[in-house]
Amino acid sequence: MRWRLPSLVLPILLALAPAARADLVYVLNSGEASITVLDAVTRQEVRRIPVLREPHHLVLTPDGSELVIADSGGNEVFFVKPETGEVLRRARISNPYHLEYSPDGKYLVVASLRRDQVDILDAATLELVHRFRPGDKPSHVAFTPDSRTVFVTMQGDRAVAAFDMGTRTHLWTQEVGPEPAGIIWHRGRLIIGIMGSDHFVTLDPVTREVRHAFTLGRGAHTIFPSPDGRSLYATSRVDSRLAEIDPETLAVRRTWAIPGGPDCLTFDPEGRVWMTLRWIGRVAVLDPRGETWETVRVGRSPHGIFFKPRRDGIGGDFALSMAGATSGTRPLAAPLPRRPHAGAPPPAGIMPGSIPPAPAIPAALRRTP
Amino acid sequence: MFDWMADTYGLFTGWLFEEAVQPAMYALGLMDWAEEAFHWLDFFVFGLLGIGVVYLVCRPLEAWRPVERWEDGSAVWTDVVYTLLARLGILPLLAFVLFAAVQVRIEGLIADSGWVPPTLESTFPTLREYPLLALLIYIVILDFGEYWRHRFQHTFGWWWALHSVHHAQKQMTFWTDDRNHVIDDVIAAAWFGVIAVAIGVPPGQFPIILLVLRLGESLSHANVRLDFGRVGERLLVSPRFHRLHHGLLSAGATGKNYAVLLPVWDWIFGTADFDRGRYPSTGDPTAPESLASGGWLRQQVDGTKRLLRALRGRDA
């Protein structure tokens, strides 16, 4: 009879033990008005969330508790619980295409590609604080780490526009090249993908000097820092490529030719790069240590993507430090520590680790309150 | 099976876009229109698919039980030209892009007030969870709009002058559906586009709706002795139902059976004729012979002349 006890108890214990939860990947299918939720391990679709029209980009709320998904054609943003995919609430917003929270968590800035407007919303209430109409096709958004300046690529005007968040004024517009798309703040300057060309440029926000950064391929599009800050990853959509970039020198370390039009990226804790392939309805998963990648079928014209870790030992700080969580534009001054930031206590409502150590902000952008 | 077909379709359009469309747009400096162009591919490929599907469905039917047989079928070839010109999505696309752009501007102005125009799903939130039901409702609304456009084509003299190009065909086949004067096509596309934008048809669903409506319209023009039975005739426009509309006695404002997809509109508005025994000859006895048997260009020119005469207050 001794063998019977474990054979009876074990299944019960297993049943009672908390089930290991698989990590999730959210993919915005801009061409078929839905969101695919993938099991990151099995690569199977576990849920499909219908949206109104055309979801393109997403961002994590400053406290990391909700995923904000922008449905540009549907004129709304909706809030999803990232652990489960549950839709918590919706809000009517005018044509939200790309969006980003200010690093201090106070404001949400929304670029409207089709309505030529840049909206500053109160992050808590989503009330419209100010609307800019800076020109043709505002596309992607990036902040300075001190939240005082926001930059928007103007696809139709070959330019980047800068706005003062304090005075709510349009500071300047600088030509950078044909059809600029993705933009990030990177160690005191901006890096911008020039979609009508084959390269990325840097833009000094003080002198407004534009410099060639690196060449990738025709249709240079977006750029994202890896969660550990040790690499940047850039995409081009005509010459369908992904490249790993040295964050110090901006030299191209490696290039992968990945058919299908790689667009937005996100990262898993193992360092794999998950990317949407816009033109073939797939997500590619690439381990940068190797040469190969696998693809997973999702919906039509997948665009924004977000990896949500749910396993034990991976906290919200990972998600918040990840470029995919913030549309690739959350300031990243230096490689992030593995542990949550141990400096001064963060402002209320901001999770530790969401704000990197203070970067070197150019003097001209430094202001006293 | 459906899943495989959808995936194959997606891979094909993706390949076409990457290999042909996108490089051309890059070379022309039009990369900021790349996403719109990707959507446009759906119209183009759906247009080709639509022609293929319609042919596969209708041609065997016409061979099986034709209403009429003709020695010389050259007039049918003119209708084939019409179909190729119309079904590759050019006109509906222009209308949709044009009106979508107008809508964006208007909504932008309205949004300044803080109010964002509703869509069908935002008005009836339940529909968010049932996209297929929403699609069906969009089709019903658009079909209702098509019914009234068709009635007006027969009501106003200038519009009938244009529409008679369509009715002049004496050898009606499934190709005849696209036999329209280009001005009439532009008006139709604008009419359809305005309604589609007003009710907020999702751009991704637009090609599917077009495909459904056009499959129904082509079938209804087919040269086949076919009705859908006592009940079916009241649910879906059949070749018999629509042939009655094209009959010699139905030309002009005295017509019957205007519905495009759903006969219920004729039922409601008193224009239905469910006589299942008749398969009349088609054509417009008031139209010149050139509209019936001329080539595409001749029909367009003569149709324009008739329009101008109608606008001057003389008989078309």
Render pLDDT for A141-198 as a digit per residue (tens, 0 to 9). Answer: 999 988 899 999 999 999 999 999 999 999 999 999 999 999 999 888 999 999 999 9
Report pLDDT digits (tens) over B148-166. Answer: 999 999 999 999 999 999 9
Residue A193: predicted pLDDT: 97
* Chain B environment of A115 (Cβ under 8 Å): 104-105, 107-108, 111
| Number of CB atoms found within 10 A of residue A351's CB | 21
Residue B151: predicted pLDDT: 93
Spacing of C-alpha A120 from chain mean position: 18
Quick one: average pLDDT of A314-332?
49
**Greater model confidence, A306 or A354:** A306
In B71-205, alpha helices (H): 74-86, 90-111, 120-123, 131-155, 157-167, 182-198
Quick one: average pLDDT of A76-84?
91
Please tell me the distance from the alpha carbon of residue A62 to that of residue A37, in angstroms, as a whole number: 22
Instruction: Name the percent of chain A lying above pLDDT 90.
Output: 59
Q: Which domains does chain A have, with CATH numbers?
A: 19-341 (2.130.10.10)
Q: Do B107 and A53 touch (CB under 8 A)?
A: no
**Greater model confidence, A327 or B25:** B25
On whether the CB atoms of residues A37 and A22 are closer than 8 A, the answer is no
Residue A19: predicted pLDDT: 52
Instruction: Name the percent of chain A lying above pLDDT 70.
Output: 79
On whether the CB atoms of residues A99 and A108 are closer than 8 A, the answer is yes
Residue A350: predicted pLDDT: 30
* Chain A environment of B3 (Cβ under 8 Å): none
Of A114, A110, A105, A19, the C-alpha closest to A66 is A105
Minimal C-alpha gap between B307 and chain A (Å): 38
Nearest to B203 among A73, A93, A178 (CB): A73
Report pLDDT digits (tens) over A195-220. Answer: 999 999 999 999 999 999 999 999 99
* Chain B environment of A219 (Cβ under 8 Å): 22, 26, 31, 34
Q: Do A218 and B104 touch (CB under 8 A)?
A: no
On whether the CB atoms of residues A193 and A233 are closer than 8 A, the answer is no
* Chain A environment of B29 (Cβ under 8 Å): 178-179, 196
**Greater model confidence, A328 or A41:** A41
Quick one: average pLDDT of A124-136?
93
| pLDDT grade for B286, boundaries at 50, 70 and 90 | confident
Side by side, the strands of the sheet bearing A302-308 are A45-50, A34-39, A24-29, A302-308
- Determine the residue of chain A that is closest to B129 in CA distance: A50
Quick one: average pLDDT of B102-122?
64
Res. B312: pLDDT tops 70: yes
Please tell me the distance from the alpha carbon of residue B290 to that of residue A9, in angstroms, as a whole number: 90
* Chain A environment of B17 (Cβ under 8 Å): 279
Under the phi-then-psi rule, with left for phi > 0, alpha for psi from -120 to 50, and beta for the rest, what region is A260?
left
How many Cβ contacts (< 8 angstroms) between chains A and B?
115
Nearest to B7 among A178, A279, A297 (CB): A297
- Determine the residue of chain B that is closest to A136 in CA distance: B32
Instruction: Indicate the range of A9-13, A120-124, B8-12, B247-251 predicted with least confidence.
Output: A9-13
Residue A270: predicted pLDDT: 87
Question: Torsions phi, psi of B28, nearest 5?
Answer: -90, 0
- Terminal CA-CA length for chain A: 77
Give domain limits for chain B.
47-311
Res. B222: pLDDT tops 90: yes
Instruction: Indicate the range of A61-70, B72-81, B98-107, B159-168 predicted with least confidence.
Output: B98-107
| pLDDT grade for B24, boundaries at 50, 70 and 90 | very high
Instruction: Name the percent of chain B lying above pLDDT 70.
Output: 85
Res. A52: pLDDT tops 60: yes
Q: Do B10 and A281 touch (CB under 8 A)?
A: yes
- Determine the residue of chain A that is closest to B132 in CA distance: A50
Mean pLDDT (chain B) is: 84
Which of A176-180, B14-18, B271-275, B285-289 ranks highest by mean pLDDT?
A: A176-180
Mean pLDDT (chain A) is: 82
Of A181, A223, A196, the C-alpha closest to A324 is A223
| pLDDT grade for B47, boundaries at 50, 70 and 90 | confident
Residue at B159: amino acid letter: W
Please tell me the distance from the alpha carbon of residue A62 to that of residue A349, in angstroms, as a whole number: 7
Nearest to B104 among A31, A114, A155 (CB): A114
* Chain A environment of B200 (Cβ under 8 Å): 53
C-alpha separations of B198 from A94, A194, B85, B136 in Å: 16, 35, 27, 16
**Greater model confidence, A134 or B113:** A134
